[in-house]
Amino acid sequence: MRILIESLTKLSNMLSKLYLYIGKIIIDFFFAFIGVLLLVPVFMFLALLIKLTSKGPALFKQTRLGKNFKPFTLYKFRSMIVDAPKLGPGVTSADDPRITRVGKFLRKTKLDELPQLINVIKGDMSLVGPRPELTAYINEYKEEYRTVLSIRPGITDYAAIEFRDEENILNNYSDKEKAYLEIVLPKKITLYKKYINKISMVTDLKIILLTLKKIIG
């Protein structure tokens, strides 16, 4: 019995590694590519809506750290005023005056995250994985992030689901950046590690379905 358990454990570990290094990459690229093709009309509509309602580009670009701390350019639909990162902290609360009128809708529905499908196609990100974080915040937990960034960051994961209402949570604190660094981010890191320890196709599918349920609900 012990030998059987050990054999099954080794097989499970082998399949997990095979999925992580081959299967996950193929699945990410395929579904992200199909997603972008299908969502071209949505991309165009949202880009036009943003351009017509506020000054600035439709896309927001920002440097984040990816797998093994490699910098990459993250894409989002712009939901804040131009130069927002220079006008306030790296975190936002629901009442942040930098958020545009259309931006509130985009952030609530998570439509602002859609351009990250391009990041997935480029290989910077995965569909499921720890959310890409600002360099300054990663530096506060450098040792923890050696584990977190051992894989590619993703569009959604356990933390993204758990902190779906993060902006409303931060509304309860006067110093929102301090609250994020000392309260929210440590909890996110714990959830990131939980995902890393359970990476599999089943886990990814479960997280994607839970994310869709959270958004729709």
pLDDT tens per residue, range 163-212: 998 999 999 999 999 999 999 999 999 999 999 998 999 999 999 999 98
DSSP 90: S
The 10s digit of each residue's pLDDT in 11-47 is 566 767 788 888 999 999 999 999 999 999 999 999 9
Please give the single-letter amino acid code of residue 154: G
Tokens of 117: 């499908």
Locus of tokens 């910098």: 71
Structurally, the chain folds into a number of domains equal to 1
Q: What is the mean pLDDT of the chain?
A: 92
- CA-to-CA distance for 190 and 168, rounded, in angstroms? 21
The residue ranking higher by pLDDT, 3 or 22, is 22
Neighbours of 90 (CB within 10 A): 16
Considering the domain boundaries, does residue 147 fall inside one? yes
Query: Taking a C-beta distance cutoff of 8 angstroms, is the pair 110, 215 a contact?
Result: yes
The 10s digit of each residue's pLDDT in 79-97 is 999 999 999 999 998 889 9
Considering the domain boundaries, does residue 134 fall inside one? yes
Considering the domain boundaries, does residue 131 fall inside one? yes
Where are any strands of DSSP class E within 106-148? 126-128
Considering the domain boundaries, does residue 128 fall inside one? yes
B/e letters for 181-211, b = 16+ CB within 10 Å, e = fewer, are beebbeebbebbeebbeebeeebbeebeeeb
> What is residue 9's predicted lDDT score, i.e. its pLDDT?
54
- CA-to-CA distance for 15 and 22, rounded, in angstroms? 10
The domain containing residue 95 runs over which residues? 11-216
Q: Is 76 helix (H, G, I), strand (E, B) or coil?
A: strand
Considering the domain boundaries, does residue 207 fall inside one? yes
Considering the domain boundaries, does residue 101 fall inside one? yes
pLDDT for 10 beyond 70: no
Where are any strands of DSSP class E within the chain? 59-65, 71-77, 126-128, 154-156
Considering the domain boundaries, does residue 136 fall inside one? yes
